[in-house]
Chains A and B, each alone.
Chain A
């Protein structure tokens, strides 16, 4: 379409909310019980963070890398692309984040659990726990079916939020290169949900911006 700027997000929404959530339903039903493995991987991230050390940081990065790659392929490319023309680009962005995790997290060890401010640690932990346990509950709490739950490691929003939580937990030496894509995804997803008039549209964008604010605040304190 020419002159995209003439159109608002609601004009560009390609699908109905019913279709969007049904996508998650069919995805979950088709891949069950992979969700349990994804949640086990998420729990492993927390266990590794508790253990601490450089090897744990590299292992966390490897887990997140796998999750971003899977969401790129299994969700964006295989499923979301059937109703959203932009999903191919989303898949590429998720692959790019996986490569960044490989480079900065696995190879350079920048995700090692490091001393951050107390506030950053708390917020990071809450964000990871919310992504793992709270996000799948959102749908049912808002009246949608359990089968439409968005699960960490399989759905993009909880995967992005958990990654931001991990980045806060590794906030002693922020790996800024790992921040832009998860934050951008949270904004894109929030805009999509806003266009669909979903009541929870602000959740992911606000959480992402809060994480950025805390990370920037922590970095500023350390530089003084």
Chain B
């Protein structure tokens, strides 16, 4: 008889890691946080819901509004959120995020995602450095080429930064359903970690090609405009939430729309921008309850198609 099995911390962590590899890609929500999915290129897990900053965080020098944004960030982190996304295109949003991070003592759980957005490839590094200073962080976790602008010039710079340890992940973005052909060509030819694209209950073109391609190429997917900047919620809100939405723990149309997006198995994280604490908590709460299966997703899409 061999010695009794001793459960050491290392053995326990090893067993948990093995279970994670064998288990489904979607990790169920812990009691204290939202469900997560792995970034395919590293295995690092991200909560299914992140925080965008388009419009909502562009509040300029207004101290009261900056404090309100910091409060949104504080609640986002407290509820288990990690990924915050911004861009040099979003006016003062980067500075406002930097203000919030400094006020919150630079939370360790932050996953910082920003973009390079400049036509002159040679000016890319300078812009990214300016962005980093505005956030007030040592380095970005993820930098993406915004709307594919000058991507042949920026991507080599981003890959070089990643190789030098100045950046952890590289990505590209598009929005509003534009330029999908070009995005597909870049996904097929470049060693990307992330893509960011528009996907929601009514903008579903990416299901046909880009999402399967992301799965095939091992690329994480960030979804923007899950509510079509509110237009989708306005349309949905004209009718009562169906009773069957309760089967997937939905109590609002926002949760309904967001659950549809994050339940797609190839979506890593959906970002939604808000300046309201109740909305950020509602969004993150979407990733803590039940998620729709394929049959339910079809039912949800059919309802949206009838609008």
A10 CB, nearest partner CB in chain B, Å: 8
Q: When the two chains form their complex, are residues B65 and A22 in contact, meaning their CB atoms are under 8 A apart? A: yes
B-contacting 9-mer, from A13-21, A48-56, A163-171: A13-21
Q: When the two chains form their complex, are residues A11 and B60 in contact, meaning their CB atoms are under 8 A apart? A: no
Question: Which residues, 236 to 273 on B, are CB-close (under 8 Å) to A?
Answer: none
Q: Does A31 belong to the interface (CB within 8 Å)?
A: no
Q: Does B92 belong to the interface (CB within 8 Å)?
A: yes
The residue in chain B whose Cβ has the minimal distance to the Cβ of A15 is B58
Q: Does B148 belong to the interface (CB within 8 Å)?
A: yes
What chain B residues lie within 8 Å of A7 (beta carbons)?
176
Q: When the two chains form their complex, are residues A26 and B55 in contact, meaning their CB atoms are under 8 A apart? A: no
- Chain B residues in the interface with A (C-beta under 8 A): 55-56, 58-62, 65, 89-92, 117, 119, 146-150, 176, 178-179, 229, 275
What chain A residues lie within 8 Å of B146 (beta carbons)?
1
* Residue with the highest number of chain A CB atoms closer than 10 Å, among B58, B60, B229: B60
Please tell me which one of the listed residues A6, A10, A11, A82 contacts residue B92 in the complex, with CB atoms under 8 A apart: A82
Secondary structure class of chain B's binding surface, majority of residues: loop
Q: When the two chains form their complex, are residues A82 and B91 in contact, meaning their CB atoms are under 8 A apart? A: yes
Q: Does A23 belong to the interface (CB within 8 Å)?
A: yes
B50 CB, nearest partner CB in chain A, Å: 20
What chain A residues lie within 8 Å of B147 (beta carbons)?
1-2
The residue in chain A whose Cβ has the minimal distance to the Cβ of B54 is A14
Q: Does A79 belong to the interface (CB within 8 Å)?
A: yes
Q: When the two chains form their complex, are residues B56 and A6 in contact, meaning their CB atoms are under 8 A apart? A: no
Chain A, interface size: which category? 20 to 34
> How far apart are the CA atoms of A15 and B149 in the complex, in Å?
22
Q: When the two chains form their complex, are residues A14 and B58 in contact, meaning their CB atoms are under 8 A apart? A: yes
Q: When the two chains form their complex, are residues A19 and B60 in contact, meaning their CB atoms are under 8 A apart? A: yes
What chain A residues lie within 8 Å of B62 (beta carbons)?
19, 22-23, 26
> How far apart are the CA atoms of A84 and B179 in the complex, in Å?
25
The residue in chain B whose Cβ has the minimal distance to the Cβ of A26 is B62
Please tell me which one of the listed residues B59, B119, B176, B229 contacts residue A19 in the complex, with CB atoms under 8 A apart: B59
With A2-B149, A14-B90, A83-B59 already in contact, 16 other A-B pairs whose C-beta atoms are closer than 8 Å: A1-B117, A3-B178, A7-B176, A15-B55, A15-B60, A16-B275, A19-B58, A19-B60, A19-B62, A22-B62, A22-B65, A23-B60, A23-B62, A26-B61, A83-B58, A84-B91
Q: Does A142 belong to the interface (CB within 8 Å)?
A: no
Q: A15-B55, A23-B60 are contacts. A85–B65 as well, Cβ < 8 Å?
A: no
Contact with B along A83-101 (1 / 0, CB 8 A): 1110000000000000000
> How far apart are the CA atoms of A19 and B64 in the complex, in Å?
11
Contact with B along A23-40 (1 / 0, CB 8 A): 100100000000000000
Q: List 17 A-B contacts (CB under 8 A).
A: A1-B149, A2-B148, A3-B179, A6-B176, A7-B176, A14-B90, A14-B91, A15-B59, A16-B55, A19-B58, A19-B62, A22-B62, A26-B61, A26-B62, A83-B58, A83-B59, A83-B60
